[in-house]
Homo-oligomer: A and B are copies of this chain.
Amino acid sequence: MNQEWILQTTQAQGQERREKIMEYLKALRTRICGAFESLEPEHRFERKSWSYQKGSGGGEMSILRGSVFEKAAVNFSGVQGDRFPGQDAEGSFFATGVSLITHMMNPWMPTVHFNIRYIEAGSRQWLGGGYDLTPMGFENSEDTQHFHSVAKHALDQVDPKLYPVMKEAAREYFTIPHYNRERGVGGIFFDHYNTGHFDRDLKMWTQVGETFLEAVMPIYKKKKNLPWTQEEKNKQIRSRAHYVEFNLLYDRGTRFGFQSGGNPEAILCSMPPMAAW
């Protein structure tokens, strides 16, 4: 990543910082969509804009329904409003982020989730994000190891203390209380991240953004041509039920989205193309 960009951002205040961060997020979104499309023989992402009704700003959802990605949703949003939704903070707020989820046609390919976000609320500001992997019925320990080793390496560049903490945070966050079980094989997660050194915090945050594709693409490339049966597909579709339950019952992003009066189509575009109970 561009060091100069970080310095500029940390020196800039208010609107300029917001704009730089949104610019970075949109560019990252475009890169990720491009990488996913490179695996897809024919289908492409379709982009749709929306406006934030309860304040200003809005977002862009990019949805791919293809032959490799049964459904991939990559969302950018940047909204501001008078009253922060939820209990984390008070006052006016600004929130921007990229959030994505994949649901793969091939049941051997795991679902992946990625998000990075920047939030200002009242006089506070923080970063949040992470990535986590969810095999849908078929766990592969090599994949899990690869995914986690990319995350560890990414965070170790900033501070070797980060990975163990953020891995544990993912374990906690992605545990489905009613089953007392993780929704997948984990990854990294952080929220309300603000050490008082914005430049260093932003470096950690962009490390997460910059390494996401490295964490998931080798897994997808390796598996995309594996043959699968209808029975395996059914198992995948049943596994997705837990993902739906987690997203609607517990996920903070979903709750924040609805509480803030966000666009329901954008909030729910992460839902699987098909799930069974």
Contact = CB atoms under 8 A, between A and B. Distances in A.
A268 to B, nearest CB: 7
Contact of A249 (B177, B258, B272, B276): B258
A248 interface: yes
Interface in A218-277: 237, 241, 244-245, 248-249, 258, 264, 267-269, 271-277
Interface string A205-217: 0000000000000
Contacts of A177: 258
Copies of the protein in its oligomer = 2
Contacts of A178: 258, 264, 267
Given A178-B258, A258-B178, A245 B274 contact: no
B272 A277 contact: yes
Contacts of A264: 178-179
Contact of A244 (B248, B269, B273): B248
A259 B177 CA distance: 11
Contact of A277 (B258, B271, B276): B271
A65 B269 CA distance: 29
A245 B255 CA distance: 12
Contacts of A269: 277
Nearest to A179: B264
A269 B258 CA distance: 25
A245 B268 contact: yes
Kindly name the residue among A71, A237, A241 whose own CB sees the greatest number of chain B CB atoms within 10 A: A241
A237 B271 CA distance: 14
A271 B241 contact: yes
Contacts of A179: 264
A261 B249 CA distance: 14
A276 B276 contact: no
Contacts of A275: 244, 274-277
Contact of A245 (B237, B248, B276): B248
Interface of A: 71, 177-179, 237, 241, 244-245, 248-249, 258, 264, 267-269, 271-277
| 9 closest cross-chain pairs (CB), A and B | A248-B248, A271-B277, A178-B264, A274-B276, A248-B249, A275-B275, A178-B258, A273-B276, A273-B277
Given A178-B267, A244-B244, 10 more contacts: A177-B258, A178-B258, A237-B274, A249-B249, A268-B277, A273-B277, A274-B274, A274-B275, A275-B275, A275-B277
6 contacts: A178-B258, A237-B274, A241-B271, A248-B249, A273-B277, A275-B277
